[in-house]
Amino acid sequence: MISHRDILLFVALAFVWGTAFSAIEVGLATIPPILFAALRFDIAALIFVGLVALRELEWRPRTRTDWYAITVAGGLLVGGHFAFLFLGQSYVSSAVSAIVLSLTPIVTPPLALALLPNQRIRAPAVLGLLVGLAGIVVIAVPGGSLDGQILGVALLFVSATLFALGSVLMEGIDESLPVISLQAWAMVVGAVVLHALSVAHPGERISSASLTLPSASALLYLGVASTAGGFLIYFILLERVGAAELSLVNYATPVVAAVFGWALLGESITVLTILGFALIIAGFALCKLDTLWQVGGPIVGYGPQRSTFTDGSVVVSGNSYLSDCDLGANNATTDSPTTTKATPNTHGTNATGGSASVSPHGD
């Protein structure tokens, strides 16, 4: 069950990651994309290394699992994901960038099916993947070109896929390192990967970078709030709620990104962009029908629910239960001793004394 703390962390993550797209747009005006991403993680790495030293946390990897987690977090969730994100956003607006990345929850189930044991995928999820991809096409094609919008969307799609892959690979890893130490390693490794990619990229030169006040402010915000703070929240939530549920943040992030892109940068949002986002949301709904039914069913009066009758019994999924006190009162009126055996009540279902439980199937 998701707690209030998880919800607050989720909202905070959506905000710092949503506003990050506007900050990226500002910084890309004067700093090459991959170099900008690398500098962002230089700052974050310094913060996390400082936290590890300040709190005297264990930082040495001791097992293969530790090294595996560091490789996945640093190489995929940081290095690969953000290299393609910054490159892709250099061709599109901040809102489009955030919307394309919201495809992550749709590509997560197929990757989980392929890589994790005991995973299943049903026909609606396959249809959801196709609908989500259709949304990407709607966003990419109109007014695009091979060296413009289409290329940007393609790069962002790769970024989303790498992030989904990293999330799936991280789920279930039982590393011995504290979360902050793992974060520090991920930032350091990711920064090294990004600097190496920046040097290798033929279109990037340090001499072409110019650190203005707006770009410096954007870089500081990205390094401290969006990266250090955001990734700390992300890994905490990943451990608490899992990759599939956490990927929902990708549907709150585009809303934040669109609002701030419009308010701060004067970006416009086209009807086709909104339509594409709607298709991506529809695709996600098809992928998560079971979860949406469990959450939304009781709200509209269907699905698993509890109701209480005047005799004190509680109905759970079709079964009625009496507490010890209520059962004892009923037994007292019939001069019979209190018992924990199943007793018929006036609703024609079973009432059981003690701590009642019911199976997911209503047995």
- Whether the full predicted model's pTM is greater than 0.85, yes or no, is no
Percent of the chain with pLDDT over 90: 33
Does 165 have pLDDT greater than 60?
A: yes
Query: Does 323 share its domain with 199?
Result: no
Question: Is a pLDDT exceeding 70 seen at residue 90?
Answer: yes
For residue 334, what are the CA distances in angstroms to 125, 266, 343? Answer: 55, 76, 12
Last residue of a domain, one of 280, 299, 318: 299
Residue type, 89: Q
Q: Are 22 and 261 within 8 A, CB to CB? A: yes
For residue 216 the two structure tokens come to 């410096």
At residue 194, the pLDDT reads 97
Kindly report, residue by residue over 123-159, the tens digit of the pLDDT. Answer: 777 787 788 778 877 776 665 545 568 889 899 999 9
Residues 125 and 215 in one domain: yes
Cα–Cα distance between 4 and 314 in angstroms, integer? 25
What is the pLDDT, as a whole number, of residue 122? Answer: 72
Domain that holds residue 158: 4-299
Within this chain, do residues 240 and 188 fall inside the same structural domain, yes or no?
yes
pLDDT digits (tens, 9 = 90+) for 205-253: 888 889 999 999 999 999 999 988 887 788 788 888 776 677 677 677 8
Same domain, 292 and 312: no
Residues 169 and 317 in one domain: no
pLDDT, one tens digit per residue, over 299-345 is 555 555 444 444 544 444 445 445 455 545 445 444 444 333 333 33
294 and 328 belong to one structural domain: no
Put residue 72 in one of left, alpha, beta given phi > 0 → left and psi -120 to 50 → alpha.
alpha
